[in-house]
Amino acid sequence: MIRRREFITLLGGVAAAWPLAARAQQPGRLPTIGYLGATTPSTESQRVAALVQRLREFGWIEGRNLTIEYRYAEGRSERYAELAAEFVRLNVDVIVTYGTPAVAATKQATAVIPIVFAVAGDPVGSGLVASLPRPGGNLTGLSLQKTDVADKRLELLREVVPGLRGLAVMANAGNPVSILEMREVEATARRLGQEVATFEIRRVEDIAPTFEAFKGRTDALYVCGDPLVDTNRVRIITLALGARLPSMSDFPEYVEAGGLMSYGPNFPDLFRRAAGYVDKILRGAKPGDIPVEQPTKFDFVINLITAKALGLDLSPTLLARTDKVIE
């Protein structure tokens, strides 16, 4: 005899697979997610694990009642359109991606397949959705107003580097949200009486010459987070340490690789929440009817080894405010 709880669990699993399996074109085809990663599998491993684990909690188990096709652009923005087009050819049921350029390329590839963005900078201003409460179209997800947290990052950088006067800001010119963030940091720093030098990169080959360009002109480096930057974080950190520059970015992996510090949304939490959007869509909801939400959890991470190597003396009160210290 099947117990009542087991029966309900069984029913839930069947219900989870029903809406899209019912209209699958091939017999026995499982609902399929196309995951378009902007960087590399290793960079995104924690994020993907959070997404998959949360889907499992909703009853979607990869290989049992769900298929996930993974593709990674490896920091090359020109690959987004090609990978999105591949998902369209595969006729996946939902595409999950993140970052404004990747989301925009995916939107251009399809106006039919639902798209869930785990994070996108200013999706209304970027024209990805009509509004946060009613996104419309085939997109929804989580919004990050990057310019809203830029001031906080600059404030922390000034606190860690006493007497900070010259600031270099690096951003990917191909990412409109990164350029907006760069302009925000520049404006705020100038209001505070700091000298600011901005540097735009477009490809990995631009990174080393950029460091040569601001050698001797700056006391610290602000790196606008972006897939191009994320993929090449070790190169950037090595050059920054070689120049003895304290650096700030927006994701913990930057600090884990040797950067000084980061402040930004908790990415695994965003991907976990993105799984909730996927679940609703797989059960029949329209993405345009699901409100876009914003991050609620932010992390401040410091690498104490890097701080000591740079000769920085961090106060106990500052360290007490961190979410994670790498030592």
Query: Which pLDDT value is given to residue 306?
Result: 97
**Of 153, 138, 117, 139, nearest in space to 270 by CA:** 117
- pLDDT tier at 146 (50, 70, 90 boundaries)? low
Q: Can you name the CATH fold of 146-264+299-326? A: Rossmann fold (3.40.50)
Q: What percent of the chain has pLDDT over 70?
A: 91
Residue 20's CB is within 10 A of a number of other CB atoms, namely 19
Residue 18 confidence (pLDDT) above 50: no
Query: Which pLDDT value is given to residue 215?
Result: 83
Query: Which pLDDT value is given to residue 113?
Result: 98
Tokens of 14: 């069947």
Q: What average pLDDT is seen over the chain?
A: 90
The Cα-based distances of 61 to 4, 30, 93, 178, 277 in angstroms read: 22, 11, 15, 35, 16
The Cα-based distances of 157 to 245, 308, 311, 326 in angstroms read: 11, 15, 15, 17
Residue 15 confidence (pLDDT) above 60: no
Facing residues of 222 across strands? Answer: 169, 248
Stretch 266-277: mean pLDDT: 97
Residue 103 CB contacts under 8 Å (≥ 6 apart), including other chains: 97, 115, 117, 120, 123, 128, 139, 141
- pLDDT tier at 13 (50, 70, 90 boundaries)? very low
Query: Which pLDDT value is given to residue 26?
Result: 53
Among all chains, which residue has been given the structure tokens 């104490």? Answer: 304
Residue 82 CB contacts under 8 Å (≥ 6 apart), including other chains: none
Most confident of 54-68, 149-163, 182-196: 54-68
Answer yes or no: are the C-beta atoms of 271 and 118 closer than 8 Å.
yes
Tokens of 165: 């006067």
Stretch 84-113: mean pLDDT: 97
Superfamily (CATH) of domain 4-145+266-297: Response regulator (3.40.50.2300)
What are 252-264's pLDDT values in tens digits? 999 999 999 999 9
Stretch 95-123: mean pLDDT: 96
Could you give the residue range(s) of every CATH 3.40.50.2300 domain in the chain? 4-145+266-297, 146-264+299-326
Residue 23 confidence (pLDDT) above 60: no
- pLDDT tier at 27 (50, 70, 90 boundaries)? low
- The answer to which of 56-65, 106-115, 174-183, 252-261 has the lowest mean pLDDT is 174-183
3-state per-residue secondary structure call for the chain: CCCHHHHHHHHHHHHHHHHHHCCCCCCCCCCEEEEEECCCCCCCHHHHHHHHHHHHHCCCCECCCEEEEEEECCCCHHHHHHHHHHHHHHCCCEEEECCHHHHHHHHHHCCCCCEEEEEEECCCCCCCCCCCCCCCCCEEEEEECHHHHHHHHHHHHHHHCCCCCEEEEEEECCCHHHHHHHHHHHHHHHHCCCEEEEEEECCHHHHHHHHHHCCCCCCEEEECCCHHHHHCHHHHHHHHHHCCCCEEECCHHHHHCCCCEEEEECHHHHHHHHHHHHHHHHCCCCHHHCCCECCCCEEEEEEHHHHHHCCCCCCHHHHHCCCEEEC
Query: Which pLDDT value is given to residue 126?
Result: 87
The Cα-based distances of 18 to 9, 31, 52, 327 in angstroms read: 14, 9, 19, 49
Stretch 54-64: mean pLDDT: 97
Q: In what order do the strands lie in the sheet with 195-201?
A: 195-201, 166-172, 220-223, 247-249, 261-265, 298-303, 324-326
Residue 3 confidence (pLDDT) above 90: no
Q: 150-172 burial string, b = 16+ CB within 10 Å, else e?
A: bbebbebbbebbeebeebbbbbb
Stretch 131-137: mean pLDDT: 96
- pLDDT tier at 90 (50, 70, 90 boundaries)? very high
